[in-house]
Homo-oligomer: A and B are copies of this chain.
Amino acid sequence: MLFKRFAENPLVTTADVVPSMDGFEVIGAFNAGVAERDGEVLMLLRVAERPPQVEGFVSYPVMEAGAVNVHRLPLSDPAVDVRDPRVICHKGVVYLTSISHLRLARSRDGRSFTVDEAPTLLAEEPYEEFGIEDPRVTLIDGAYYINYSAIARTGITTVLRRTRDWRCFDRLGVVFPPDNKDVAVFPGMAGGLYWAFHRPCSGFGQLPRTWLASSPDLVNWGGHTCLLSPRPGMWDGLRIGCGSPPIRTEAGWLSLYHGADESQRYSMGGVLLDLSDPRRVVARSDEPLLAPEAPYETEGFFGGVCFACGHLLRADGSVWLYYGAADTVMAGAAAPLSGILASLGV
């Protein structure tokens, strides 16, 4: 594999995170967006918390009017389906067993992190009632654009927020309607427009595909184009979605994206897009650049997952990729940018 794991892995575990609510248990600190500011490396973690349980019931959290309330359903009710540990299905509605918020972890060297004691962004709006997840951060003209998945019974939407100081976060609205995940905004324009990856759901083709959208202002999006489909039999044969925001290189926009194979093993690979028209795919990894092998990747809440939402481009020309491992912890790995491009035939 081209990417070499950090010796410090895992970089953040659930033990490093103070629960945001009394009695709740932190079950995941993963899938972080990444940014740099004033010499500090910021990981905006997804922190998943599970409420206290009562014998004979399944308890689940719902944000209502700004507060998280715990509801419960009797396990003896045959209409309560808890076979998937992540969700509860009940009478046509899907609830989550945990609720996620976003919280900063900070580092001077990009390898040793300290997690903030308080959440940075919490579920607040009705369309966030089941939590906010999987942020990506894109720096454009001095402002950090943060998008995340907002989960509610009305569906999975993408919310865009903007900050300059990491204290005030403007709401720019729901930018993609349900269901849509794995959104990442490009760190610059092409052809006079902003661009973003997104992954809408379809009941038609069934295999989720990665689309591109363009925008004049980052708030309103159109020009939707289907960009990448899963490749049955390959490392990205079952499911794909963007990873971190793409890297602008002379050879094109380089995106490191996740793919799952038919055994639900999530790896990371690369795709290169034309610099002036990112709807044109130049090259795509035949083999993954990072696949789950380390114990913290193969075992956890959902084992066999490397899922990156952010990276750093270092002064020495290496890419430091930060990724959620097994839907539980954060890890890091490095590869030379030139090596990634060479693997794509550039």
Contacts and interface: CB of A to CB of B under 8 A. Distances in A.
Contacts of A176: 177, 224
Contacts of A207: 92
Contacts of A172: 222
A166 B219 CA distance: 32
Contact of A201 (B179, B205, B219, B222): B179
A153 B224 contact: no
A255 interface: no
Nearest to A225: B174
Interface residues of A, number: 46
A206 B93 contact: yes
B92 A202 contact: no
Contacts of A157: 224
Interface in A137-188: 151-157, 172-180
A233 interface: no
Contact of A223 (B154, B155, B174): B174
Contact of A177 (B153, B180, B203, B205): B180
A173 B194 CA distance: 16
A204 B179 contact: yes
A313 interface: no
B217 A219 contact: no
Given A177-B200, A177-B224, A219-B222, A205 B127 contact: no
Nearest to A93: B205
Nearest to A232: B92
B220 A222 contact: yes
A222 B174 contact: yes
A295 interface: no
A217 B193 CA distance: 14
A44 B207 CA distance: 33
A219 B179 CA distance: 20
A94 interface: yes
A176 B94 CA distance: 24
Contacts of A126: 226
Given A220-B216, A226-B154, A203 B173 contact: no
Contacts of A214: 220
Contacts of A302: none
A215 interface: yes
A175 B222 contact: yes
A150 to B, nearest CB: 11
Interface in A223-247: 223-226, 229
Contacts of A201: 178-179, 201-203
Contacts of A206: 92-94
Interface in A67-102: 92-94
Contacts of A219: 222-223
A177 B213 contact: yes
Given A155-B200, A179-B204, A222 B221 contact: yes
Given A156-B204, A179-B204, 16 more contacts: A92-B206, A92-B207, A93-B206, A151-B204, A152-B205, A154-B229, A155-B200, A172-B222, A173-B223, A174-B224, A177-B180, A179-B201, A179-B202, A216-B216, A220-B222, A221-B221
Interface of A: 92-94, 126-127, 151-157, 172-180, 198, 200-207, 209, 211, 213-217, 219-226, 229
